[in-house]
Amino acid sequence: MSSHNPLVTVVVPNYNYAPTLGRCLRAIREQTYSPLEILVADDCSTDDSVAVAKSMGVKVVSPSRNGGQAVARNLGAAHARGEILFFVDSDLVIEPDAVANAVAILDADPKVGAICGIEDPVPLIRDKMIKEYRALQYHYWSLTPDGIVSFLFSAMFAIRADVWAEVGPFDPRLRWSEEVEYGHRLSRNYQIRLTADLRGRHDPDDSLRGMLRKLFHRGRVRVPLYARKKEFAQGFETASRVWSSVAAFFAVVSVALPVVLGWPWALVPVALLALSIAADAGMYGFVRAERGPLFLFYYAGIHFLVNLTISAAAIAGLCQWMTSGKFRSMYDDPPKPLSWPTLLPDHS
């Protein structure tokens, strides 16, 4: 990377996020770092997203048809001129020093392939309780002891363009968990660092059903990858969080035991529920300190449903893995690395 201030291309993948896109782009323009190039990679939105971006003088690139986040990010990178690519989702507003901090970290340590940011525990738009849950939960799960992860936090991350060219693009076949596959690929030769030096405020899903649907499909399609790697995402899907989900699932399954075997067996689901809560004790303590005991009660109820969804996703994914060769091999042929001219086309 050059010793001078390198050009940073900020790529904003977007699909139907017109209500937050303007805020996202204004925050990018207010960065303390320069020079910046801003590109919106619009995935064939049906709302006013393109008009919002163009009204702010931002260049928009679009695929021929809707392809998902992986396709949008790849398209933005293909049109980028920067030595550093900074990706930020269109429902996220970054802090003014985010780009400057990312450049400094990447410049200081060539072993770091990508630098990812941490989302604030408060949602961007505070209009739904489920958003309050998701912002707190995702923030807490992102707090890792050493900052080194194998899971790419794709909503807000920076990567050197030469590393992107070496590793290759996101897998365009994946509409769910493409960032997990990319993180495993990237972490073979580079560190992925997660740090609060990059911060932003996110607008999460505004419905419980939408959030659980995403969690289910993301968990399901990770099974073939984890079966190959025999590991979870370092620094994110920890053993205690896995046990919390497993215990919650079996707490529900074991509810029938007292009916079949007698009332003394009612202790089993109670004990399993207690185990599930104990495994996440640190998180519940954090939530109580942040929002108080009343909100904690709501939070714990939603998180119980999240744990059940994660377990159901793992079971569904395992069943698919055992019965479908296509599902088992979905990560066997990752995208090939890109040549530098492919990554940095001549726009003159």
DSSP SS3 for 38: strand
Residue 31, pLDDT > 60, answer: yes
Pair 169, 335: CB distance under 8 Å: yes
Q: What is the pLDDT of residues 217-255, one digit of tens each?
A: 999 988 887 776 655 555 566 778 889 999 999 999 999
Residue 38, pLDDT > 70, answer: yes
How many of the other CB atoms lie within 10 Å of CB of 213?
Answer: 13
> Domain-by-domain residue ranges, the chain?
8-204
* Amino acid in position 31: Q
Percent of the chain beyond pLDDT 70?
92
* Amino acid in position 71: V
DSSP SS3 for 223: helix
Write the CB contacts of 300 (distance below 8 Å, at least 6 apart in sequence): 277, 284
Q: What is the pLDDT of residues 91-146, one digit of tens each?
A: 999 999 999 999 999 999 999 999 999 999 999 999 999 999 999 999 999 887 66
The structural architecture, per CATH, of the domain 8-204 is Alpha-Beta Complex (3.90)
Residue 148's beta-bridge partner residues? 193
Q: What is the pLDDT of residues 278-312, one digit of tens each?
A: 999 999 999 999 999 999 999 999 999 999 999 99
* Global confidence as pTM: 0.90
Write the CB contacts of 287 (distance below 8 Å, at least 6 apart in sequence): 136, 140, 295, 296, 299
CA distance 174 to 95: 29
Residue 348, pLDDT > 90, answer: no
pLDDT (average), residues 158-171: 94
Tell me the CA end-to-end span of the chain in Å, nearest whole number: 22
Q: What is the pLDDT of residues 66-77, one digit of tens each?
A: 999 999 999 999
Pair 85, 155: CB distance under 8 Å: no
Residue 116's beta-bridge partner residues? 157, 194
CA distance 229 to 219: 15
CA distance 158 to 85: 6
